[in-house]
Amino acid sequence: MRGAIRLPPSGRVSQPDRDSRKMGRLGLVRDSDILAYYQLDGGITDSATAGLYDLSVQTGVERYSYYDNFRMLSLDGSSIMRHNASPAALELTAAMSLHALVVPAAQATGYFVTHDGTSDAAADNILYSLLMQTGGGKSQLEYFIEYSGGTNEFADVDCWPAIGVPLFLTLTRPTAATSVGFYVNGILFGTVVSLNAPTSGTAGQFRIGGSASGTNMYTGLIGEVQLLDTELTAAQVLEDARRVMPWL
């Protein structure tokens, strides 16, 4: 009969394998380029492997929650995690890539990840950052640095992160550091060019969930944060995204 659904012998319509919809882990596939990797699934002082750096609570509390059986760090807009020290290896001013798996819980400005210091006048105050910037009734993905004597520079793309939906975000920057690429779920969402390179220094720290001043704190879940000292290709970004979200 035309338009009829053909059933399998069991008489039941087969369903997609549920395991294919479960989120996974990034792992250490690009081991030589990875500077820091956090699964953020319980215990921020326990980095994923020996030789990577540990975090501590800057402000607020450390707590965890679940998204579809995937355990992630839960930030309520009042908590920030930071490095226990200021390792020079994380002071990136040239090529870099940053991955972060996020599930926003509010349309509010908040840093997913940043490397910043405490003085706005310092040239090295912000070497890189990825945040959600809200205003005018919308939210954008934004990259923020400071260069020279603490001059601010912003770059953003009109991507509106949905509340309660997992997003695998990637930021890439070439050696010249004069452009950035924004990827969402492994796909290039936009590129911003003609930027200035951040000025090097040692005053900043790597943070998750907020800035050094304790402002613009992120509300939502975050996990699988990975920092690399190379600019990943589009194919590599998609490969990493599919490791975390196999259905992409």
Q: What is the pLDDT of residue 159?
A: 86
Whether this prediction's pTM lies above 0.85 is answered by: yes
Residues whose CB falls within 8 Å of the CB of residue 228, separated by 6 or more in sequence, listed in order: 30, 33, 34, 35, 96, 97, 98
- pLDDT tens-digit series, residues 185-241: 999 999 999 999 988 765 688 999 998 888 889 999 999 999 999 999 999 999 999
Q: What is the pLDDT of residue 219?
A: 96
Say which DSSP state 33 is in: G
Q: What is the pLDDT of residue 14?
A: 40
Chunked mean pLDDT (size 10), the chain, 248 residues: 35 46 85 87 61 77 90 93 80 94 92 82 77 81 86 88 92 96 96 90 81 89 94 97 93
Q: What is the pLDDT of residue 1?
A: 30
Q: What is the pLDDT of residue 192?
A: 95
CA 3 remoteness from chain centre: 46
Say which DSSP state 18 is in: G
Strand partners, 114: 129, 207
